[in-house]
């Protein structure tokens, strides 16, 4: 039998490695940003065209590379970060595998321009599909500029798997924000198709978070600081009243590297136990500094997962540190419920000496005199102590008629708390006998059929009705809008503003009217007739959360998700009391829908109980 095992060519091996390292344009930006940070850059600029499919350019003012290093950096497993296997357990740098540039060069057109500080001219290298096409000296400033063009040009199957530009841009912004938050001392900027998305100056952690997520974020943050032998914890958590319906603002950084850890996330959730509303999640930006020898970074291709030596101790310390911060800044409730906060001694009184109060007595005061002028001890104003004449007390009731008819009229509307015992099976508030419906537990609408009874979930039924109506308005005709007397202004971060711009046209079809969408502020002058002004902020927040989690990649799925999210937020909730007219209206509109039996989320809307089934219950 002949030998069948052979070594793969380098360009094929690089393309296989690229499948792990480069999943989408955002992966390229992450790897190149980490290389720029390891090169001690102070300013990093990211330029993107067509969400990275056409161009990705990273420009930094770091140390730069010599001619030899510029050629070596594109070789597989070529790195300056480690020299032996022991170095893997004491990593203080970002990229260390030496696969990033080799993998990127295998699936794109790459142009590298670099120059060290002490060189007069730099080096320009062009590579296409792992093949060096040109190498020549060039004039370039200190640092490195790397252009990645036509990503996946030689792997069309991978390129076809890329999502729309809007979706890919969201992933790019996510990676950019994670790296920028981990290194606030470095200035970052991001440009897409010639427009500026972020311009982040060198600053501290708190200001960097505020620059990314909006100025309103500053007032929502509670600092967290804890220094132990195992870990040093710093950063911020959001106040419970500002908790969101999505997990978008949750960040862990270990040794300035973004990670994902469900275990540590549970520790944060445990610290907020009892402080959050249902189905809301706290925001946190936590930085953990640990001994590099106590963690293993090299367990995941994207290096977003880390293995800790002592997770249980880390869990307990993180949970207690957050609880301490929430209590220290009076966010968490105290145990002494009878304590009056007004009686707390101000901090400036700490070193103040106690003063003996002066006692003054007015010896001329006589409370038994009819009229007595006396001076107030504290205010110095005069008061008259006069005994009221009560002989004409009957004049207080002048003008009031006390006829029995008047009393009967006055007490006709009095309601008593005690329940009246009647022979009715249902209350008048819950009955809809005229329409043939009644409400059960403020959750279900019960109606009669020829063959039995019909039980409808009011929330799911209304969601189905609104979903089909919104879908029709978005795709066929615009909905009716109600104008607001005063424009409504809402605050969003840059990422959420970009998502709103994508779905603005569809939202206007549902009844929203946007007068202005700026960097962090959205001004609304009209809203759909089915919602109130107070619900707009909650509705849009839920909508953006759904879009961030589902990430629709085409027009139809975007419209469908928009209709589902709006219908879910606008539908009547379980626990809402409906009168007979409202109940019958939901029943009639439900069975006018195209698919009345299931909600937009494929859950049953109603069940029927036939007379035969009821008879069997009584056998």
> So where are the chain's domains?
10-200, 212-328, 444-590
- Asked if 115 contacts 143 with a C-beta cutoff of 8 angstroms, the reply is yes
- Asked if 62 contacts 36 with a C-beta cutoff of 8 angstroms, the reply is yes
- Cα separation, 551 vs 379, in Å, equals 68
Q: Is 129 left (phi over 0), alpha (psi -120 to 50) or beta?
A: left
- Cα separation, 244 vs 325, in Å, equals 20
β-bridge pairing 122-128 and 371-375? unpaired
Q: pLDDT under 70 in the chain at which residues?
A: 1-2, 10-20, 79-98, 298-303, 330-350, 369-435, 477-479, 549-556
Q: Tell me phi and psi for residue 258, to 5 degrees.
A: -70, 135
Any idea what the Cα angle at residue 255 is, between residues 97 and 61, rounded to 5°?
A: 65
Q: How far is CA 591 from CA 287, 440, 456, 588, in A?
A: 54, 20, 11, 6
- Quote the pLDDT of residue 274: 84
By C-alpha distance, which of 462, 454, 604 is closest to 531? 462
Residues sharing a CB contact under 8 Å with residue 154, sequence separation 6 or more, in sequence order: 15, 107, 129
pTM beyond cutoff 0.75: no
- Cα separation, 7 vs 71, in Å, equals 23
The hierarchical CATH code for the domain 212-328 is 3.30.230.10
β-bridge pairing 295-296 and 513-517? unpaired
> What digits encode the pLDDT tens for the residues 355-413?
888 888 888 877 776 554 444 444 454 455 455 555 566 666 666 555 555 555 555 55
| Residue 286 half-sphere exposure toward CB, CA atoms < 13 A | 29
Helix (H) or strand (E) holding 12: helix 10-21
- Cα separation, 323 vs 331, in Å, equals 9
| Residue 133 half-sphere exposure toward CB, CA atoms < 13 A | 12
Helix (H) or strand (E) holding 265: helix 262-271
- Quote the pLDDT of residue 529: 80
Both tokens assigned to 281: 């999640």
Domain 10-200 identical in fold to domain 212-328: no
- Asked if 506 contacts 491 with a C-beta cutoff of 8 angstroms, the reply is no
Helix (H) or strand (E) holding 496: helix 494-510
- Cα separation, 22 vs 32, in Å, equals 11
- Quote the pLDDT of residue 368: 75
- Quote the pLDDT of residue 476: 72
- Cα separation, 285 vs 205, in Å, equals 9
- The string of DSSP letters for 277-308 reads -TT-B--EEEEEEE-GGGEE-TTSTTS---EE
- Quote the pLDDT of residue 379: 47
Buried b / exposed e along 416-455 (16+ C-beta atoms within 10 A): eeeeeeeeeeeeeebbbeebebbbeeeebbbbeeeeeebe
- Cα separation, 443 vs 445, in Å, equals 7
Q: Tell me phi and psi for residue 61, to 5 degrees.
A: -110, 40
- Quote the pLDDT of residue 619: 77
Q: Is 279 left (phi over 0), alpha (psi -120 to 50) or beta?
A: left
- Using DSSP's 3-state secondary structure scheme, residue 513 falls into strand
From the CA atom positions of the chain, what is the Rg in Å? 35
Both tokens assigned to 68: 């030899």
The hierarchical CATH code for the domain 10-200 is 3.30.565.10
Which CATH superfamily includes the segment(s) 444-590?
Answer: MutL, C-terminal domain, regulatory subdomain (3.30.1370.100)
Quickly count: other Cβ atoms within 10 Å of residue 257's Cβ: 20
- Asked if 106 contacts 122 with a C-beta cutoff of 8 angstroms, the reply is no
Quickly count: other Cβ atoms within 10 Å of residue 347's Cβ: 7
């Amino acid at each position: 039998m002949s030998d069948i095992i052979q070594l793969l060519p380098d360009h094929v091996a690089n393309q296989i490695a690229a499948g792990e390292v480069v999943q989408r344009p955002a992966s390229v930006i992450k790897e190149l940003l980490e290389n720029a940070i390891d090169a001690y850059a102070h300013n990093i600029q990211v330029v993107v065209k067509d969400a990275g499919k056409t161009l990705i350019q990273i420009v930094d003012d770091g140390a730069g590379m010599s001619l030899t290093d510029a050629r070596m950096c594109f070789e597989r497993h070529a790195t300056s970060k480690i020299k032996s296997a022991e170095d893997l357990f004491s990593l203080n740098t970002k990229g260390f595998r030496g696969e990033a540039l080799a993998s990127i060069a295998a699936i794109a057109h790459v142009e590298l321009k670099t120059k060290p500080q002490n060189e007069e001219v730099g080096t320009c290298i062009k590579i296409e599909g792992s093949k060096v096409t040109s190498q020549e000296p060039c004039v370039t400033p200190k640092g490195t500029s790397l252009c990645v063009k036509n990503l996946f040009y030689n792997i069309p199957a991978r390129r076809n798997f890329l999502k729309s530009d809007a979706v890919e841009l969201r992933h790019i912004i996510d990676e950019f924000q994670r790296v920028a938050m981990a290194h606030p001392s470095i200035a970052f900027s991001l440009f897409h198709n010639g427009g500026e998305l972020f311009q982040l100056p060198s600053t501290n952690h708190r200001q960097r978070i505020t620059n990314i997520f909006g100025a309103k974020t500053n007032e929502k943050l509670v600092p967290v600081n804890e220094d132990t032998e195992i870990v040093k914890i710093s950063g911020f958590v959001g106040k419970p009243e500002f908790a969101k319906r999505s997990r978008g603002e949750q960040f862990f950084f270990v040794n300035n590297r973004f990670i994902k850890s469900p275990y540590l996330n549970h520790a944060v959730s445990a610290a907020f136990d009892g402080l959050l509303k249902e189905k809301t999640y706290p925001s946190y930006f936590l930085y953990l500094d640990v001994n590099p020898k106590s963690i293993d970074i090299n367990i995941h291709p994207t290096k977003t997962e880390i293995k800790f030596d002592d997770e249980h101790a880390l869990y307990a310390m993180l949970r207690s540190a957050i609880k301490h911060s929430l209590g220290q800044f009076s966010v968490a409730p105290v145990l002494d419920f009878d304590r009056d906060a007004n009686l707390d001694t101000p901090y400036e009184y700490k070193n103040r000496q106690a003063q003996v109060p002066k006692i003054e007595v007015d010896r001329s005061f006589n409370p038994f005199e009819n009229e007595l002028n006396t001076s107030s001890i504290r205010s110095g104003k005069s008061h008259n102590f006069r005994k009221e004449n009560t002989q004409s007390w009957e004049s207080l009731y002048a003008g009031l008629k006390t006829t029995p008819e008047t009393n009967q009229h006055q007490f006709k509307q009095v309601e008593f708390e005690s329940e009246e015992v009647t022979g009715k099976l249902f209350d008048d508030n819950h009955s809809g006998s005229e329409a043939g419906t009644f409400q059960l537990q403020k959750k279900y609408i019960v109606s009669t059929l020829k063959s039995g009874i019909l039980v409808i979930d009011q929330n799911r039924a209304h969601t189905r009705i609104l979903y089909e109506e919104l879908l029709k308005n978005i795709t066929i005709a615009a909905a009716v809008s109600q104008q607001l007397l005063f424009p409504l202004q809402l605050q969003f971060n840059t990422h959420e503003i970009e998502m709103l711009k994508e779905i603005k046209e569809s939202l206007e079809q549902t009844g929203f009217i946007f007068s202005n969408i700026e960097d962090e502020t959205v001004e609304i002058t009209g809203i759909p007739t089915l919602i109130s002004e107070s619900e707009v902020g909650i509705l849009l927040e839920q909508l953006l959360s759904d879009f961030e989690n589902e990430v629709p990649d085409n027009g139809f799925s975007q419209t469908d998700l928009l209709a589902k999210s709006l219908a879910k937020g606008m539908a009547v909730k379980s626990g809402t009391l409906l009168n007979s007219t409202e109940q019958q209206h939901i029943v009639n509109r439900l069975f006018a829908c195209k698919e009345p039996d299931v909600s937009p989320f494929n859950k049953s809307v109603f069940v029927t109980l036939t007379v035969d089934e009821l008879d069997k219950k009584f056998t």
